[in-house]
Amino acid sequence: MAARTLPLLTCCASSPHRATLLALPCRAAARALASPGPGRCPAGSDAPSPRRVPAPCAAKRGGGGGGEVASDDGGGARALLQATLWGAEAAYILWLFLLPYAPGDPVWAISQATISDLIGLSLNFFFILPLINSAGIHLLESPVLHPMAEGLFNFVIAWTLLFAPLLFKDFRRDRYKGSLDLLWGFQMFLTNTFLIPYMAIRLNDPDKDQSPPQTSKLGSVMVRGASIVGLSGGLVCIVSIAWALFGRADAGFGGIAERWQFAQNYIFSERFAYAFLWDMLLYSIFQPWLIGDNIQNVKTNATEFVNSVRKSELTPTP
């Protein structure tokens, strides 16, 4: 067999099929490209060019709109990324909920004052109740809390709202077997406690036997109204910043300098306020990640902007 294939390798030294032949890992594939006769080179024959045989070590894995090609190296990187995300989830829960070392009280030693603040912040959700009261409607009175606390709370919750269209349109959402409605609902209250596991689970291999996921009614509303959701969430974020700096001006909370001083003390004395810092950091990572993975869902007139932002994030500064 060696004597038979040696002329083939010699005569094909200048053949365009040489790279294909030498790349074939299987002996059977080499026989498929064997010379049709002694001393005759396939490159110079009238026979049709041999069809390139794909290497069996590469397999295309489907996944909604992704169509990415997975390899052993990619699988290893993906497994490492998943392990990192699950480690981040464990660290998030331990550091922010259970251990007593972060600023403020852990969840098992939460004070009554913190519980009252959380209830008050929830009642002032998206500043709806304070604005209704300011309009002269007092069916329910808005709790008077520091505007910095209200601004920080509503800013993070509004940012969480912006994730809804991304989650319900994510082409990897079929990897997550639970309800996306519940996931996003819990994320609105506990933020990255539920988002980090989703980011890890969405990296699983696709289940080829599973039918495409059905979009729920809530998901359909969020996807169809993505522009409205984006504008609403962005508007609340802007209002939150303005409210933190200038809100409740007649309530004696001081100017910008006094409010900034309060914010520093507040973040490093209340556990949930301290957790908001980590939430914003993680959101700034996960949101571009989801947008980049689903770039096909971005409107054409915004795709160039998104790609330029992603490129600037990946380009190291000199």
Where are the domains positioned within the chain?
A: 74-299
Q: Which amino acid is at 184?
A: W
pLDDT value at position 75?
Answer: 79
What's the CA gap between 134 and 128, in Å, rounded?
Answer: 10
Crossing angle for the helix pair 180-190 and 147-161, nearest 10 degrees?
Answer: 160
Collapsed DSSP state (helix, strand, coil) of residue 248? coil
Two structure tokens written together for 114: 């913190």
Walk along the chain (318 residues) in steps of 10 and give the mean pLDDT of each run. Answer: 40 39 39 44 45 42 40 74 98 97 96 95 96 92 96 98 96 93 96 98 89 87 96 98 95 95 96 97 97 81 55 51
Q: Are the C-beta atoms of 310 and 288 separated by less than 8 Å?
A: yes
Write b or e for each residue in 78-111: b if 16 or more Cβ atoms lie within 10 A of its Cβ, otherwise e: eeeebeebeebbeebeebbeeeeebebbbeeeee
pTM score, two decimals?
0.73
- Coarse DSSP helix, strand, coil percentages of the chain, rounded to the nearest 5 percent: 65, 0, 35
- E strands, 61-173, in order: 69-70
Backbone dihedral angles phi then psi of residue 160, each to the nearest 5 degrees: -65, -40
pLDDT value at position 214?
Answer: 83
C-alpha distance from residue 36 to each of 7, 12, 42, 259, 291 (Å): 11, 13, 7, 85, 53
What's the CA gap between 231 and 223, in Å, rounded?
Answer: 13
Q: Which amino acid is at 57?
A: C
**Of residues 280, 116, 125, 105, the one with CA closest to residue 191:** 280
